[in-house]
Amino acid sequence: MDVAVAAGVSQATVARCFNTPEVVAPGTRQRIEAAAGRLGYVPNAIARSLKSQSTNIVGAVVPAVGEYWQNVVTGFSRCLTASGRQLLLFSFLDQADVDDTLEAVAQYRLDGLILASATIAEAQLARMRQTGLSLVAFNHPDAAGIVPSVTVDNEAGSAELARHLADLGCARVLYVGGVAAASTDRARFRGAARTLASAGATCNYMEAGAFTYEAGYKAADRVDQMDSLPDAIMVGGDEVAFGMLDGLRQYGITAPEDLLMTGFDGLPQASWAGYDLTTLVQPAEQLAEHAAELAARGLDTPSDVVPPSVVVAGTLRRGRTTRRDEGPPARPQSRPGRGCGPQSRASR
């Protein structure tokens, strides 16, 4: 009321000025904004949302740990802010907390929700779709067909990394995944195993237990205990790969001198001199834009219609971990060579 009186207009005109300023004459809008500035008036977002039936808030359910997810959340926030919306974050520490987190989401009025975890079960996805909320699953291959989804092409990206190793002569590859139950992990291993098998190479699976640096560091212990090193290790996420590289160094095992290594994600740290990791770079900004757009546009897909799915290709980054010719001279080997790596651990 005070702003309307000070500007000499009606309350309805003040409301239009802040909700739909394009319909208010420039001169009138300037008077209202000047009056609001003098009086310290701030529009009430909650009141506006009750009237417009829109909050301009999009939620995101995201794991609470990991450099990858921090980058993803930053991308969501940037894209949503650019469109005049705000991000409300719901995080969880482990899979057991997902149900509680999804229940907490129901207490808020959101214009959309991004489900950004590949470990959210299909039953949980289906249950969330029944709420009528505008949903999008992020980097969750198994979500396709259940809710709208946006994902990098995990299987094709991993296949490209595997072809790179096969071209280098690797015949025995170890795949270290993060969490075997994650749909991204399964898709990436599937792409690697099929491609290597077609090249006559083997690809065994090892679960690190989490997509974290710490999990990769611990998994290095199991690699050191092997009777013989693989030619190469394909790691299902860059953070796990960073941990493995550092963990293996404590045993005197380095890449590319003793074995080759690849990651997946294309985190900024992959280009650091201490890692220089060969990896599959996800187009993070593009993926975040697609997810933010789908979640914020209020998409209401009828239950009998297959939801849209956006799949984006990644890009291979060749780092020093698969470029032995560009790294330091290989150490003299006292054991016979095998493909692109050493065979026996007898000299250790």
Q: Taking 80 as the threshold, does the pLDDT of residue 334 lie above it?
A: no
- The answer to whether residues 21 and 98 belong to one domain is no
User: pLDDT tens digits, residue range 24-39?
Assistant: 888 888 888 888 877 7
User: pLDDT tens digits, residue range 65-111?
Assistant: 778 888 888 888 888 888 788 899 898 877 778 888 888 887 888 88
- The answer to whether residues 197 and 298 belong to one domain is no
Strands 135-138 and 149-152 turn out to be parallel
Residue 49 resides in a domain: no
- The answer to whether residues 119 and 248 belong to one domain is no
Q: Taking 80 as the threshold, does the pLDDT of residue 341 lie above it?
A: no
The answer to whether 235 and 241 have CB atoms below 8 angstroms apart is yes
What pLDDT score was predicted for residue 236? 97
CA distance 88 to 5: 35
- The answer to whether residues 255 and 129 belong to one domain is no
Residue-number span of the structural domain to which 198 is assigned:
154-282+318-347
Tokens of 89: 């974050």
- The answer to whether residues 221 and 272 belong to one domain is yes
- Computed over every residue of the chain, the mean pLDDT equals 84
What pLDDT score was predicted for residue 80? 86
- The answer to whether residues 66 and 188 belong to one domain is no
What pLDDT score was predicted for residue 297? 66
Residue 48 resides in a domain: no
CA distance 256 to 235: 14
* Ranges 116-125, 293-302, 320-329, most confident: 116-125
Q: Which residue pairs from 294-297 have beta carbons closer than 8 angstroms and sit at least 24 positions apart in sequence?
A: 294/112, 294/134, 294/136, 294/148, 294/150, 295/58, 295/111, 295/112, 295/113, 295/114, 295/134, 295/135, 295/136, 296/58, 296/80, 296/83, 296/85, 296/111, 296/112, 296/134, 297/112, 297/134
Minimal CA–CA distance to 236: which of 144, 291, 146, 173? 173
Which range, of 84-93, 238-247, 330-339, averages the lowest pLDDT? 330-339
- The answer to whether residues 267 and 339 belong to one domain is yes
- The answer to whether residues 221 and 292 belong to one domain is no
What pLDDT score was predicted for residue 32? 83
Phi, psi of 102 (to 5 degrees): -65, -35
Mean pLDDT of 136-155: 91
Q: Running DSSP on this structure, what letter comes out for residue 228?
A: S
User: pLDDT tens digits, residue range 59-71?
Assistant: 899 887 778 888 8
The answer to whether 107 and 130 have CB atoms below 8 angstroms apart is no
Asked whether the bond before 256 is cis by omega within 30 degrees of 0, the reply is: yes
Residue 50 resides in a domain: no
The answer to whether 304 and 143 have CB atoms below 8 angstroms apart is no
What CATH number has the domain bearing residue 168?
3.40.50.2300
pTM of the model: 0.76
- The answer to whether residues 104 and 30 belong to one domain is no
CA distance 211 to 235: 10
Q: Running DSSP on this structure, what letter comes out for residue 297?
A: T
Q: How many structural domains compose the chain? A: 3
Q: Taking 50 as the threshold, does the pLDDT of residue 346 lie above it?
A: no
- The answer to whether residues 117 and 12 belong to one domain is no
Which range, of 45-49, 133-137, 235-239, 296-300, averages the lowest pLDDT? 45-49
- The answer to whether residues 6 and 69 belong to one domain is no
Q: Residue 316 forms beta bridges with which residues? A: 280
> What percent of the chain has a predicted confidence (pLDDT) above 70?
85
- The answer to whether residues 129 and 165 belong to one domain is no
